[in-house]
A and B are shown apart, each in its own frame.
Chain A
Amino acid sequence: MRRFPPTIPKSSRLLYGAIGIAIFFAVWWILTAPMFTEVETRRVAIDGPTGEVESYKEVRHEVSRAIVNPPGLETPGNTFRRAFEIGLPQHILASTLRILIGFLISVSLAVPLGIAMGLFPRLRALVSPIVSLMRPLPSIAWVPLFAIWFGVDETQKLAVIFVGSFAAALIYTVEATLKVDPDLIRAATNLGAGRRQLLTRVLLPAALPNILSGLKVVLAICWTCVISAEIVGGQFGLGTLIWTKKELSDTAAVLVGMASISVVVLVMDAAFTLAERRLVPWMFLRRGAS
């Protein structure tokens, strides 16, 4: 019987991944590289003897055309070149630092509260309605209000990241705590574990893998928050870069900003997985065994 879900060796996975990326760039290049020439009629203003516009002439102008022309979309080569012209490292650094600080503030409050909510149903009943009201609000909705309350400096940006990620971090933690196998708690209690031991030796280690999985998602949510927060008042940051360059129809720079977010998220994700391996090594042993 075939194994389910079907898998392929790691080397094949890498090969298929590389082919997928190559296809993506090939399609992009096909869409944007000049493929044919087109004769276009352009109006050209003709100045009279006084230097003022006197008439217009129609000039036949041969232009190289692609399926999608700039400023709609630049070629991969032009987009790649643009990455070196727009001070990208400063923008990446600014956004990443904001994310990390905002994420840490959010997590340091949401995780203890989430565990407490998982353990105490009355507290859960008290806080849940507020979280339910906050959760559907997209981070961008907070931007105008926070600009008035906190200005447009770092406080405003961290506040947007915090409110945008707090509810998600809290819900993941509550869910992870509620999912802990009650038999584990019962067994530990029967073996004489005290409250503190139950919390530190049983509940936390059992809930941690699910908490960390949730926080990985929260970290990605933080990126949507920082891009919203950087719409206003930013000097540096990928959000500032994207919004400013959009005003100049500089689509190559906008794409570079977007691609940078993806790359940084991938790097952060890998770093998070490494941290997970350190914090919950048994989860990876279990996954490896299965």
Chain B
Amino acid sequence: MRIVAGLLLALLSLGCGAQDDDTIVYAGSAWYGHAPVWVGIQKGIFKKHGFRVEERKFGSSSDRINALEADNAQFASLGEVAMLTAMSRDRRGFYWIGCQNIAPGNEGLVAVGGITSIADLKGKKIALQRITSIHLTVALLLEEAGLDITKDVTVVNVTDSTVVDIVRRGDAAAGGMWEPYYTDLRELDGATVLGTDKDTSIYKRFQTMSGPDVICASKAWVDKDPARAKRFFEAYWEAVAWCKAHPTELLDLVVAHIGKERVAVEIALKNFQWLTWDEQRDMLSNDRMFGQAQVASELLQRLGQLESIPEFKNWTRLDWFQQ
């Protein structure tokens, strides 16, 4: 009986892809912001530094936070909005390590059916994914046009490619999404781009997206061996630097990885500014990410998504970066 139980458990672990203790699990998705990990694995950068990394796909940023807190994954790239909502709930099982890229212009609001201005959206439906960067982008774009996202329009909460399907069917007058789905939205018949995250007050003030990508790590994993964790992130940022130095090779790698059309990936990747290890200290400052996170938190609170504004600096590890 014990042998059978042991065999079943072994099969279960195999089936669930259980990793050994040394494997560092990365929580990712199909978004281009995960490219440094794909590069780090494929180009052997992690291996060179003595790390074995395995990527697992997690649908939403909040699921990636859950994985980090449970130490099911050791690091993740996720949307800043999910990180801020977790911090505001006083969830302390993760660190905010840094920001690997800024990619403004890769998400936007697209209308169909003859709508050519944001003001025309009053009383209409907008399809987007709530509590994400695009939610903030659309809220800010509407605000600048004198509309209130909570009163003047109806938000239809849908994810990923469903936004495109909904707008294509005419069930919503406009849709907001990030790449690769933003390209699909723009390719719809009669599509008009009403604005992107580059048109928001956040971009004008901080030159960041409304909810940039952030790199977070499991607190349990970092605290177990902080020196090793720091060495690992130096290796990660070496992969980021590779992305910055090899745009053509990166394009080939991303196209092969996500199976999207080369032209669409090329346009999206052109908007990416890869931020190196040396740039982290400047990024995590009041003029950039911290100022932006404060404004984003205040907006999220106005939208009823945050009860309190988190002291996000307390989750950081700026002691790792050069002053």
Contact = CB atoms under 8 A, between A and B. Distances in A.
Interface of A: 42-45, 47, 51-53, 55-56, 70-71, 144, 147-148, 151-153, 232-235, 240, 244, 246-250
Nearest to B61: A247
B319 A55 contact: yes
Given A45-B313, A246-B62, 8 more contacts: A70-B89, A144-B162, A151-B166, A153-B171, A233-B127, A233-B158, A248-B89, A249-B89
Nearest to A52: B285
A90 to B, nearest CB: 14
B38 to A, nearest CB: 25
Contact of B91 (A153, A246, A249): A249
B86 A249 contact: yes
Contacts of B166: 147, 151-152, 233
A45 B316 contact: yes
30 contacts: A44-B314, A45-B311, A45-B314, A45-B318, A52-B285, A53-B316, A55-B319, A70-B90, A71-B89, A144-B162, A147-B158, A147-B162, A147-B166, A148-B162, A152-B127, A152-B158, A153-B171, A232-B157, A233-B156, A233-B157, A233-B162, A234-B157, A235-B155, A244-B130, A247-B62, A247-B85, A248-B62, A248-B85, A248-B305, A249-B89
B235 interface: no
6 closest residue pairs by CB, A with B: A45-B313, A151-B171, A249-B89, A151-B169, A247-B62, A148-B165
A148 B158 CA distance: 12
B154 interface: yes
A270 to B, nearest CB: 33
Given A151-B171, A152-B171, A249-B86, A240 B157 contact: yes
Give the bracket for the number of chain B residues in contact with chain A.
20 to 34
| B interface SS class | mixed
B271 interface: no
B89 A244 contact: no
B19 interface: no
B314 A42 contact: yes
Contact of A51 (B155, B171, B286, B305): B286
Interface string B305-323: 1000001011010110000
A53 B62 contact: no
B286 A247 contact: no
A151 B156 CA distance: 11
B140 to A, nearest CB: 20
A246 B159 CA distance: 15
Given A151-B166, A152-B162, A240-B157, A249 B85 contact: yes
A266 B292 CA distance: 48
B87 to A, nearest CB: 10
Interface string B84-109: 01100111100000000000000000
Contacts of B285: 52
A176 B171 CA distance: 41
Nearest to A231: B159
A235 B154 contact: yes
B6 to A, nearest CB: 31
Contacts of B171: 151-153, 233
Interface in B147-186: 154-159, 162, 165-166, 169, 171
A56 B314 CA distance: 8
A235 B166 CA distance: 15
A17 to B, nearest CB: 35
A71 B85 CA distance: 12
A56 to B, nearest CB: 6
Contact of A247 (B90, B92, B130, B318): B130
Contacts of B207: none
Contacts of B316: 45, 53
B82 A247 contact: yes
Nearest to A230: B157
B72 interface: no
A70 B86 CA distance: 12
Contacts of A53: 284, 313, 316, 318
B131 interface: yes
Contacts of A144: 162
Nearest to B306: A248
Contacts of B62: 246-249
Contacts of A248: 62, 85, 89, 131, 305
A246 B59 CA distance: 13
B60 interface: yes
Interface in B290-313: 305, 311, 313
Interface in B49-97: 60, 62, 82, 85-86, 89-92
A38 B305 CA distance: 30
A62 to B, nearest CB: 15
A232 B318 contact: no
A234 B162 CA distance: 13
Contacts of A52: 285-286
Nearest to A55: B319
Nearest to A69: B90
Contacts of A153: 171
A91 B92 CA distance: 31
A192 B29 CA distance: 70
A290 to B, nearest CB: 42
Nearest to A148: B165
Contacts of B127: 152, 233
B315 to A, nearest CB: 8
A244 B314 contact: no
